[in-house]
Chains A and B, each alone.
Chain A
């Protein structure tokens, strides 16, 4: 059974800071891992899908890395902005099925 954990649960940083969000998963036999953003009371916006064959995936100021052997993924946000304030979720698929298992999320606040 896949279990996903995210650290820290909450993070508050000043604008402009670079930051790292962590995600760990128990079953490393995954094909990919997906990072999402969730604004309060809203849906999930896909940020990055990183395939198991990739070590990194980049989109703008976001960079996700994946290390299957250690069961870890990180989301790096460069030059954070107040608009980045949201909850960030990582999700790993069940290796032999279709369900995604989500972490609890990291609630990020970027202060102006």
Chain B
């Protein structure tokens, strides 16, 4: 069964360092997303991406964050200068249909720990 894969599964970094989280969405999906879950809190939307541009972003997704689809298979989330409060589980998701219509499929997540 097709699945969304994410790497790394766990990354530990020092405050102020840049981090890149990688995702390989399901191959025929066209809409891509990043969500995050701080320990003990709700899953929160960060950004959606379609046709090589951001289609929607949340207030969390400030200038420290960026997303890119560098090739036909990968989708990345970059945090430019990490803060302690960026420590969370980051989930990539993809869907075949976009907007409010699509069924989202999530990866296993990348746990980011900022020290």
Q: In the complex, given contacts A94-B100, A100-B45, what are 6 additional A-B residue pairs having Cβ atoms less than 8 angstroms apart?
A: A36-B106, A44-B93, A49-B103, A99-B48, A99-B58, A102-B44
Number of A-B contacts (CB under 8 A): 64
User: A109 CB to closest chain B CB, in angstroms?
Assistant: 17
Residue contact A30 to B43, C-beta cutoff 8 Å: no
Residue contact B106 to A44, C-beta cutoff 8 Å: yes
Query: From B50, which residue of chain A is reached at the shortest CB distance?
Result: A98
Question: A-side interface residues toward B, CB under 8 Å?
Answer: 30-32, 34, 36, 41-46, 49, 89, 91, 93-105
User: B42 CB to closest chain A CB, in angstroms?
Assistant: 5
Q: Knowing A42-B109, A43-B109, A44-B43, say if A100 contacts B104 (CB, 8 Å).
A: yes
Residue contact B91 to A44, C-beta cutoff 8 Å: yes
Residue contact A31 to B42, C-beta cutoff 8 Å: no
Instruction: Count residues of chain B with CB under 8 A from any CB of chain A.
Output: 27
Which A residues are CB-close (under 8 A) to B99?
93, 97-98
Docked Cα-Cα span, A25 to B19, in Å, equals: 35
Residue contact A103 to B100, C-beta cutoff 8 Å: no
Which B residues are CB-close (under 8 A) to A104?
42
Residue among B6, B48, B101 making CB contact with A31, cutoff 8 Å: B101
Residue contact B105 to A32, C-beta cutoff 8 Å: no
Check if B108 is an interface residue, CB within 8 A of chain A: yes
Residue contact A98 to B48, C-beta cutoff 8 Å: yes
Q: Knowing A95-B100, A97-B56, say if A42 contacts B42 (CB, 8 Å).
A: no
Q: Knowing A42-B109, A43-B109, say if A101 contacts B101 (CB, 8 Å).
A: no
